[in-house]
Amino acid sequence: MEGADEFMKYRSPLVSRYASKEMAYNFSDRKKFTTWRKLWIYLAKAEKALGLPITDAQIQEMESHEANIDFAMAAEEERKLRHDVMAHVHTFAHCCPTAAPIIHLGATSCYVGDNTDLIMLRDGFDILLPKLARVIDRLANFAEKYADLPTLGFTHYQPAQLTTVGKRACLWLQDLTMDMRNLQRARDDLRFRGVKGTTGTQASFLQLFQGDHEKVEELDRMVTEMAGFKKAYLVTGQTYSRKVDIDCLSSLASLGATVHKICTDIRLLANLKEIEEPFEKEQIGSSAMPYKRNPMRAERCCSLARHLVALMADPLQTAAVQWLERTLDDSANRRISLPESFLTADIILSTLQNITEGLVVYPKVIERHIRHELPFMATENIIMAMVKAGGNRQDCHEKIRVLSQEAAAVVKQEGGDNDLLKRVQKDPYFAPILGQLDAILDPKTFIGRAPQQVTRFLSEEVRPLLEPYKAKMDVKIELEL
């Protein structure tokens, strides 16, 4: 059967199962090798402009065959030559016989290899940044909607002082805004390797231009500009410093940690039935338990986020072992770690956008949980009200302590509801404040400045960050599950 052989070999699920078309294309062979050809054209154009004997006809020939890649011929050439760049030089030269003598003139393999990697990194960030902006936007809308809905806070995953659903979302948002700035900085810090020669000294180009240093510098500047970069690294070995890869992948690994935390929180809240991720009408949560609604999207994010964080070890170790001007033990590793980091980040952000566009909140469940815990949290307020009504703090504290322990025994040992409030109402000692109990136990009096914090945080720190991405905000995610 035609195409059946693809099921006879391993396919990366990052591409076959999850990744967006644009990110999969960004690290494709088609993008890689057409970029190599573009770089050879940029080099020829700049060398011609600076006086080398290269003709318009040669450049036009190269341009007309930029996308016309014979991949079978390139593979056969690589089998013979054991060199991927020279295989593609030969393949390009085959369809550009007039330009053949000047293709790759003065360059080393890293001219196309490293410069293409830098273009892919830049373009990868350009795909990720709007996706991250959309996640932040959806979550900001959620935070705004639930800014003043009281909910139990948790420390040590034990019930703690109340917060609001919107304020908790702002904790997630704050981490994501830090990631946004990190990704933007890593993207903007990228420079081009440019035209540097075999060990970074530009010796071959100095020879081509007969010792004219200014022309060599101008060549570097022109090619860098044609590739869409504002600056090139002033010094390189044969490769650009592999610390650049650390910088890029660390921003993605940090994003992975953020997403893992957010999605773990969502999974914990799903267990409490307070918040759930979107669930399709016909979606099956469990093959054995029909009632289940598993947080599978959040679980996918956590699963992939661990991989994204783990990939960070690769560029750290690679940069550490680059001997002198370079060794080739970076190559195989980078073929895996660079694309996989961007593909994984891409999948995580698409999935998280889908989650944040459809988060379901159950206020009645949240209210019930508050009701179970609030009487214990309100004890200090009850004591204060009694003191205002003329009571003695120590006496009141002892009364509340005894009643609290009795109520706790009902909850923990008998599995009953928290009846502290009823015990307070029955005790004549508390008669002076019975009329105030409803006000004392209003959850909104326990949330402090959470709603005001949400409003200020969204207006001052979140919305301004999204301004550059306004035109790309309306893209919806149709998630393949």
Measured between alpha carbons, how far is 396 from 379 in angstroms, rounded to an integer?
A: 10
Q: Torsion-angle region of residue 28: left (phi > 0), alpha (psi -120 to 50) or beta?
A: beta
| 350 part of the active site | no
DSSP 438-471: HHHT-GGGGSTTHHHHHHHHIIIIIHHHHGGGGG
Length of the chain: 481
| 156 part of the active site | yes
Buried b (16+ CB within 10 A) or exposed e, 240-277: bebebbbbbbbbbbbbbbbbbebbbbbbebbeeebbbb
| Chain Cα centroid distance, residue 134 | 12
Measured between alpha carbons, how far is 438 from 229 in angstroms, rounded to an integer?
A: 64
CB atoms inside a 10 Å sphere around CB 401: 11
The catalytically annotated residue of 64, 83, 213, 286 is 286
**Kind and range of the H or E run holding 153:** strand 150-155
State the distance between the two ends of the chain, measured CA to CA, in whole angstroms. 26
Q: Work out the angle between the directed axes of helices 450-457 and 109-145 (0-180°, nearest 10).
A: 140
Q: Structure tokens of 464?
A: 């301004």
List active site positions. 156, 286
